[in-house]
Structure 1
Amino acid sequence: MTRMKPTSRRALLTGLSASLVAPALLLRVRAQAVPFIDYPFQLGVASGDPDARGFVIWTRLAPRPQQADRGLRPAPIAVRWEVAESPAFSRLVAEGEAIARPELGHSVHVTLDQLQPDRVYHYRFIAGGERSPVGRGRTLPLEGAAVAEVKIGVAGCQDWQSGYYTAFRHLAREAPHAIFHYGDYIYEYGPRASAFHPGLRETFATVRRHEGPEVMSLDDYRRRYSLIRSDLDLQAAHQAACFLCSYDDHEVVNNWVTDQVVRGESPPQVFRLRRAAAMQAWYEFMPVRIDAFPEAGTSGPWRSYRWGRLLDARLLNTRLYRSPQPCGDVFGSLCAEVRDPKAEVLGKAQEDWLVQGLTHQPSTWNALLQQVMMMNVDRARGEGRGINTDSWAGYLVPRDRLLQRLQGVPNLVVLTGDEHQHWAGEVRRSDADPASPARAVEFVTTSISSGSDGRGERSEHAAVLSRNPQVKYIRDERGYALMTVRPDGWQTDFRVVSTVRSVGGTLSTHASFRVLPGRAVLERL
């Protein structure tokens, strides 16, 4: 795994990483005497950000997760960690101690860096005589290795109030190599008895309620994440595989970009305070490396994960460096601002990193792991044309420029979330002939729970498909997607669950698509 780490941060991050581990020996006696008032690992464990030498393992001490102090005194606590190849931990391959610091909500991030490539490991934590659940992670292969198959789960948009996280339990059973979480891990809203579905233009009753009002402060965000992490289906997914963690908008507030809330609820200098609290909470709860540590109120470096010569997956950030949405961010509108030559989505540094990385040494398959749809889709329900202004369709100049710069990259696949529906289609420049070869294919994964139970086929789907020949598939149900990547083809299975309005929804595969090397064409299986 390669990652963005600005030179100006290197000394800070190196020192911080050492400080989180080195003093642990001084705290061993104190840690053994900690009288937890309840089980401290109620939020489970997680792993993430794998490379060929290891990955990050995470936990958070929280005997009382919804209390501001988590049922702990404001003091550092030493936590022992163990890694083994067997889930029975018959022989440890790595072990040590880390510090759960109160300034970081007693979260623990340990970066493992002495493991073997392309191998499954199990890990656990011990504190105060209590053991955590056992988690599972897998290292990446060496960069030049020949890899026969990679399976990646894709999931996100998990509104607590809209439904249960049943799909995560099913995804855990797939035992993927990794899980790309595209964002909207939490939603900022206060408790609601009902919610409006903008796609269906209907109101539905919520299934369960958020605790507390709309989140604003660091304590608010921490309690919201603690509520979400209390879900056992989500915990099962985190225990099953390394997460490739991203954020979208609701980790802060709906449709934010850069340092602005589009409709101007807060001036930028005030919004930056809220964003800083949200970013710290995101870091505290995600199994991410130390270069994601919040600095100046922001977090979220971009990443590259390489599975040998088979797959180069580039995790992008489409929120932090983006220009404000055009047309007042009115969904279904269209205006001249969509062709603003100064608009940005990735920002120059991230775009250059992406292009240089993929064009210098492309893999057999090359994937963009990002948040908002790249297909330029006409969303109008009547005459004229309208777009999703919070997608790449609202930023045609940087969109077309990126596609042009990636022209020589073979077998490009875009993985996206945000839409609360499964979509599959082809990506072309905005001025391209619809009959011309596509530049890439795009798979958009539906929500885990957001939007509650879907209709399956909506009334507008037929019109969207007829107006957009590049779109091959749409399905409004909750679930996730599984990507199976082999040298001779890429297969996407769109999984759906029968319901999220009650526990125990059953799993099925509604559609599967295959892409062959050298042809950006979708073949439905």
Structure 2
Amino acid sequence: MTPAGHQQPSQHAPELRAAARHLGRRRFLTVTGAAAALAFATNLPTAGVAAAAELDAAKITENPFTLGVASGDPQATSVLLWTRLAPTPYQADSGLPPERVTVRWELAHDERFRHIVRRGAAIAHPEFHHSVHVEVGHLDSDRIFYYRFRAGSWVSETGRTRTAPSSRARVDELTLAAVSCQAYHEGYFTAYGHLAEDDVDVVFHVGDYLYEYAVSSVGGARNYTDRVLPDLFNRETITLEDYRLRYALYKTDPDLRAAHAAHPFVVTWDDHEIENNYADDIPENSVPQEEFLLRRAAGYRAYWENLPLRRPQRPAGPDMQLYRRLNWGRLAQFDILDTRQYRSDQAYGDGADVPGPESDDPSRTITGATQERWLLDGWRASKALWNVVPQQVTFSQRKLDLNEAAKMSMDAWDGYRASRGRVLAGAKAAGVDNLMVLTGDVHVGYAFDIKDDFDDTASRTLGTEIVTTSVTSGRDGAEKPANWDTYTRANPHLKFYNGRRGYTTVRLGRESARADFKTVVAVTTPGAPITTAAAFVTEVGDQGLKPV
């Protein structure tokens, strides 16, 4: 990002966004951003419109379910089931011709599929890289289900999912897991293997599911000795083909596959699903805006193809509405945010700086005006005991040094303080008494009290922020990072700080919530055990984190 004279966000360049929506499929697979592509592109086919021939699934000679199965966004009467056919996942075409394939699915009450509740067929379209998103409705609420797919003679592994309680149900308890930041080249997904065995109702992934950076033939820090990765991964993701192949690499990981099969996921992105620290249509580096919009369109399309998302989240070129709302009876309302796609450019560059007039400009936003209104309106209408906000970057104030005018991250909410102020004012006006923010991004675990005035320790605590550490990003990390003393002294509302890898669970109850920070000692070697580094509770009606 340019520190001064930064570009304006994309609402000032609608013609570029429109052009990126009309990028031809063949060029979309290969273009690296040439501006000429915008002038000559034709419509990208959408599933059901293109005249692809049908492939007889009986002719598929290798297992097409190499990327596993997944489910997502549980609702009271419906589930979303996902898979993608890829007999040879490390090839651009995944080992299938550009023909549609009929995939059959089954949903049952039991793992052996003796009591099948629903079954049907879906089309895996080549335009969506043979991915399948099945929305199964008219189900009983608050119920566990098992599912699987068939293509020809091949049967997928079995997944486990569930519906949410009805909107009027009195629910006593919900246990969620929060995960983020899983750079393949930084280590093994050991945390996911443990999460697959954990007893949670739903998993929230709050960003950086994918990293755009090159992955070497030995898998980076994984340092494989028993396999060699193809050279096609040893480059930064730019094109649609690049992003699709990178998802294939990630989703062949057995621990990630196990976690997806075990639990429904609710996902939102941060920056690395496209490019580090991008802001709306403004790239990290000085490339033409039209080039970046083509890249963003490619990344957004591959994201939808490879994750368990419902139809309203399907992208249109470089645009994709990812913010959405889910409810868990009257216990919890989840407002899933997107703080990347609509934000103003970072003030003073995208690193650390002392906040000033630019970062405090009330016209600047991290959510965009429409999403901000949606969030505040949702709080005013909420009947939930807990209002939980899964989102990307650190929400609470985080001073990075002990100077009177301390530096803060301009990429986090500290770089958008007016935006944060409006959100907190909206929470108070709506009478939100039990606010919890779920965050990722920073590759460490934090527990914050959200203060009415972060510089006044005696001010009212408005809620809590649980920052989950990374799955792998940052490699092994340290229990007590080198800046631990500085950060804890500079931020008295910071109640916990740990630099190991892992995930976090939160049990929401009618009287309190408990957060458990679970870590592993190493990700550069596989198989590390999981331990609970710390646990905290916050009481209903009396926010503030207390150690257990």
TM over 0.5: yes
**Counterpart of 2:237?**
215
Moved more, 386-395 or 322-331: 322-331
Find out whether 1:78 has 2:102 as its counterpart: yes
Cα distance in 1 for partners of 2:457, 2:524 equals 40
User: Residue 152 of structure 1 contacts residue 483 of structure 1 at CA under 8 Å; is this kept in 2?
Assistant: yes
Q: 1:340 aligns with which of 361, 364, 374?
A: 361
**Counterpart of 1:242?**
264
Within 5 A, what are the aligned runs for 1:352-363? Answer: 352-363=373-384
Cα distance in 2 for partners of 1:363, 1:522 equals 20
Cα distance in 2 for partners of 1:47, 1:237 equals 11
**Counterpart of 2:446?**
423
Within 5 A, what are the aligned runs for 1:173-188? Answer: 173-188=197-212
Q: CA deviation at 1:206?
A: 6.0
Q: Tell me the alpha carbon deviations over residues 23-50 of structure 1, each in whole angstroms, 9 at most, x when there is no partner.
A: 99x96xx5343x2231100000000011
Q: CA deviation at 1:128?
A: 1.5
Q: 1:453 aligns with which of 461, 472, 476?
A: 476
Find out whether 1:507 has 2:527 as its counterpart: no
Q: 2:114 aligns with which of 65, 75, 90?
A: 90
Q: 2:171 aligns with which of 147, 153, 157?
A: 147
User: Residue 31 of structure 1 contacts residue 127 of structure 1 at CA under 8 Å; is this kept in 2?
Assistant: no
Cα distance in 2 for partners of 1:213, 1:333 equals 35
User: Residue 176 of structure 1 contacts residue 241 of structure 1 at CA under 8 Å; is this kept in 2?
Assistant: yes
Find out whether 1:276 has 2:305 as its counterpart: no
**Counterpart of 2:17?**
none
Find out whether 1:133 has 2:157 as its counterpart: yes
User: Residue 246 of structure 1 contacts residue 300 of structure 1 at CA under 8 Å; is this kept in 2?
Assistant: no
Moved more, 329-338 or 126-135: 329-338
**Counterpart of 2:274?**
252
How many residue pairs are counted as aligned between the two chains?
496
Q: 1:110 to 1:20 in 2, by over 3 A?
A: farther
Report the AA paired with residue 300 of structure 2: M
Q: Where in structure 2 are there 5+ consecutive unaligned residues? A: 1-45
Report the AA paired with residue 258 of structure 1: D
Report the AA paired with residue 521 of structure 1: G
Q: CA deviation at 1:458?
A: 1.5
Q: CA deviation at 1:192?
A: 5.4
Within 5 A, what are the aligned runs for 1:282-321? Answer: 282-321=303-342
Cα distance in 2 for partners of 1:129, 1:346 equals 47
Cα distance in 1 for partners of 2:89, 2:321 equals 25
Cα distance in 2 for partners of 1:300, 1:185 equals 17
Within 5 A, what are the aligned runs for 1:485-500? Answer: 485-500=508-523
**Counterpart of 1:483?**
506
Q: Where in structure 1 are there 5+ consecutive unaligned residues? A: 1-17, 196-203
**Counterpart of 1:327?**
348
Cα distance in 1 for partners of 2:88, 2:280 equals 34
Cα distance in 2 for partners of 1:42, 1:169 equals 17
Cα distance in 2 for partners of 1:397, 1:362 equals 27
Report the AA paired with residue 80 of structure 1: R
Q: 1:102 to 1:490 in 2, by over 3 A?
A: same
Q: CA deviation at 1:376?
A: 0.8
Cα distance in 1 for partners of 2:122, 2:155 equals 15
Q: 1:177 to 1:31 in 2, by over 3 A?
A: farther
Cα distance in 1 for partners of 2:399, 2:286 equals 29
Q: Secondary structure at the residue paired with 1:397?
A: helix
Q: Tell me the alpha carbon deviations over residues 398-425 of structure 1, each in whole angstroms, 9 at most, x when there is no partner.
A: 1101100110211001110001000001
Within 5 A, what are the aligned runs for 1:385-464? Answer: 385-407=406-428, 408-430=431-453, 433-464=456-487
Q: Secondary structure at the residue paired with 1:435?
A: coil
User: Residue 72 of structure 2 contacts residue 79 of structure 2 at CA under 8 Å; is this kept in 1?
Assistant: yes
Q: CA deviation at 1:194?
A: 11
Q: 1:391 to 1:248 in 2, by over 3 A?
A: same
Q: 1:217 to 1:19 in 2, by over 3 A?
A: closer
Report the AA paired with residue 483 of structure 2: E
Q: Tell me the alpha carbon deviations over residues 150-178 of structure 1, each in whole angstroms, 9 at most, x when there is no partner.
A: 01011010010111001001111113111
Q: Secondary structure at the residue paired with 2:195?
A: helix
TM, length-normalised to structure 2? 0.87
User: Residue 154 of structure 1 contacts residue 180 of structure 1 at CA under 8 Å; is this kept in 2?
Assistant: yes
Q: Secondary structure at the residue paired with 2:63?
A: coil
**Counterpart of 2:387?**
366
**Counterpart of 1:201?**
none
Q: 1:193 to 1:88 in 2, by over 3 A?
A: closer
Q: Tell me the alpha carbon deviations over residues 220-248 of structure 1, each in whole angstroms, 9 at most, x when there is no partner.
A: 00000000000000000000111001111
Q: 1:118 to 1:217 in 2, by over 3 A?
A: same
Q: CA deviation at 1:265?
A: 2.9
Q: CA deviation at 1:354?
A: 1.1
Identity %: 38
TM, length-normalised to structure 1? 0.90
Q: CA deviation at 1:501?
A: 1.1
Report the AA paired with residue 40 of structure 1: P
Report the AA paired with residue 271 of structure 1: F
Q: CA deviation at 1:427?
A: 1.3
Cα distance in 2 for partners of 1:290, 1:256 equals 25
Cα distance in 2 for partners of 1:206, 1:390 equals 29
Cα distance in 1 for partners of 2:77, 2:111 equals 19
Cα distance in 2 for partners of 1:193, 1:380 equals 39
Cα distance in 2 for partners of 1:382, 1:345 equals 26
Moved more, 373-382 or 447-456: 373-382
Question: RMSD of the alignment, in Å?
Answer: 2.3
Moved more, 416-425 or 297-306: 297-306
**Counterpart of 1:31?**
56
Q: Tell me the alpha carbon deviations over residues 99-137 of structure 1, each in whole angstroms, 9 at most, x when there is no partner.
A: 001111000000111211000000000001100000011
User: Residue 157 of structure 1 contacts residue 447 of structure 1 at CA under 8 Å; is this kept in 2?
Assistant: yes
Q: Secondary structure at the residue paired with 1:480?
A: strand
Q: Secondary structure at the residue paired with 2:544?
A: coil
Q: Secondary structure at the residue paired with 2:97?
A: coil
Within 5 A, what are the aligned runs for 1:257-268? Answer: 257-262=279-284, 264-268=285-289
User: Residue 400 of structure 1 contacts residue 430 of structure 1 at CA under 8 Å; is this kept in 2?
Assistant: no
Q: 1:120 to 1:31 in 2, by over 3 A?
A: farther
Cα distance in 2 for partners of 1:430, 1:395 equals 15
Q: CA deviation at 1:333?
A: 4.4
Q: CA deviation at 1:382?
A: 5.9
Find out whether 1:470 has 2:493 as its counterpart: yes
Q: Secondary structure at the residue paired with 2:359?
A: helix
**Counterpart of 1:3?**
none
User: Residue 20 of structure 1 contacts residue 98 of structure 1 at CA under 8 Å; is this kept in 2?
Assistant: no
User: Residue 452 of structure 2 contacts residue 459 of structure 2 at CA under 8 Å; is this kept in 1?
Assistant: no
Q: Secondary structure at the residue paired with 1:338?
A: coil
Q: Tell me the alpha carbon deviations over residues 315-365 of structure 1, each in whole angstroms, 9 at most, x when there is no partner.
A: 111001110111111225443322011101111211111111112233111
Within 5 A, what are the aligned runs for 1:31-50? Answer: 31-33=56-58, 35-50=59-74
**Counterpart of 1:122?**
146
